């Protein structure tokens, strides 16, 4: 990585940094909402995964975002990695599907986990924007449930992720093996970044939560096995994170851990934000301000999770 990587357009945003995930533009209501994105010419935006499943979905989402924001970052969710038999990416599996998504992003000058991390010098900076990709390894499960029985344990409650049928790990032998390789890869990249930018905090963006204690799924608790890996639990401390952004859960919330702010920034499926639509709250209101963001709590203050149903 160069000493001070710059955004593709060579102009660093001077305004705010926003984030959103799980915009799922395969749904007509979400596409319509995304089309109404407001101009943010001096701001940056992190798209934190689950933009859509196809080449066309990514093209639509990236082209719209690029028209309205100065700089865009993206990290993949599970939906981008899905393989279908037909279509523009028919039969493309695993690492090749991910690489296809990276190339589409780059064609719109969208920064990906495969690109140099960029120093943010806009409002709330300096900070290094670090989009990563870790997947999951079924470790968010009770101690008495073995890895071999994890999916069976979820099925006991009629819960099974579509990933089991559409997200292939090729050329790895399993999703947990791919996850392990990804964790090692981005662990090294974050270590290098910490040395390259001593004392500069990071904004880490990953589709899956970095910590198991952030996965609170009241109605589908056993879906937790598809929600991350215990290998990343201390990354916010190890890599001096100021903010950690994630999605996947479709439950917007803000948490504070060890002085670091954790933001779940999902939009979700249309029925999950229907109340917002009925109240006249759209995508623009649901973009989460990451930097500068809210003031941190006092060191001695214990702040409970803040559930952000309408924002």
Domain limits, the chain = 17-307
DSSP string of 175-233?
HHHHHHHHHHHHHHHHHHHHHHSTT--EEEE-SS-S-GGG---SS-GGGGGGS--GGGT
Q: How far apart are CA 286 and CA 279, in angstroms?
A: 12
Phi then psi for 16, rounded to 5 degrees? -100, 165
> Which 3 state secondary structure label does DSSP give 198?
coil
Q: In the CATH scheme, what is the code of domain 17-307?
A: 3.60.21.10
Q: How far apart are CA 278 and CA 6, in angstroms?
A: 40
Report which of 236, 231, 237, 240 is spatially closest to residue 194, judged by C-alpha positions.
240
- E strands present in 93-163: 118-120, 127-131
- Identify the bridge partners of residue 262 per DSSP, sorted by sequence position: 244, 255
Answer for the pair 9, 71: CB distance below 8 angstroms, yes or no: yes
In order along its 311 residues, the chain shows pLDDT tens digits of: 445 566 766 567 999 999 999 999 999 999 999 999 999 999 999 999 999 999 999 999 999 999 999 999 999 999 999 999 998 889 999 999 999 999 999 999 999 999 999 999 999 999 999 999 999 999 999 999 999 999 999 999 999 999 999 999 999 999 999 999 999 999 999 999 999 999 999 999 999 999 999 999 999 999 999 999 999 999 999 999 999 999 999 999 999 999 999 999 999 999 999 999 999 999 999 999 999 999 888 876 788 999 998 88
Q: How far apart are CA 24 and CA 79, in angstroms?
A: 9
């Amino acid at each position: 990585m160069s000493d001070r990587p710059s955004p593709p357009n060579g102009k660093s945003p001077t305004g705010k940094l926003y984030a959103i995930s799980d915009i799922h533009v395969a749904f007509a209501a979400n596409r319509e909402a995304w089309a109404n994105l407001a101009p943010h010419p001096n701001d940056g935006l992190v798209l934190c995964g689950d933009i859509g499943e196809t080449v066309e979905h990514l093209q639509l989402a990236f082209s719209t975002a690029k028209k309205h924001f100065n700089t865009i970052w993206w990290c993949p969710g599970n939906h981008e990695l899905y393989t279908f038999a037909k279509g523009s990416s028919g039969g493309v599996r695993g690492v090749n599907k991910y690489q296809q998504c990276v190339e589409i992003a780059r064609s719109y000058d969208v920064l990906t986990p495969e690109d140099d991390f960029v120093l943010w010098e806009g409002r709330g900076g300096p900070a290094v924007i670090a989009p990563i990709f870790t997947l999951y390894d079924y470790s968010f499960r009770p101690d008495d449930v073995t890895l071999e029985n994890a999916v069976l344990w979820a099925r006991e409650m009629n819960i099974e992720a579509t990933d089991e049928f559409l997200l292939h790990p090729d050329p790895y032998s399993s999703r947990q093996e791919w996850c392990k390789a990804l964790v090692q890869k981005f662990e090294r990249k974050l270590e290098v970044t910490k040395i390259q930018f001593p004392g500069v905090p990071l904004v880490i963006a990953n589709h899956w939560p970095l910590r198991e204690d952030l996965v609170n799924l009241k109605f589908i608790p056993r879906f937790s096995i598809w929600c991350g890996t215990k290998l990343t639990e201390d990354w916010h401390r190890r890599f001096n994170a100021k903010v950690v952004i994630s999605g996947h859960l479709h439950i917007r919330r803000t948490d504070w851990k060890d002085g670091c702010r954790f933001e779940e920034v999902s939009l979700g499926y249309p029925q999950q934000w229907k109340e917002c639509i009925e109240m006249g709250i759209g995508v623009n209101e649901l973009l989460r301000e990451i930097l500068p963001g809210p003031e941190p709590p006092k060191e001695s203050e214990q702040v409970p999770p803040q559930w952000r149903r309408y924002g």
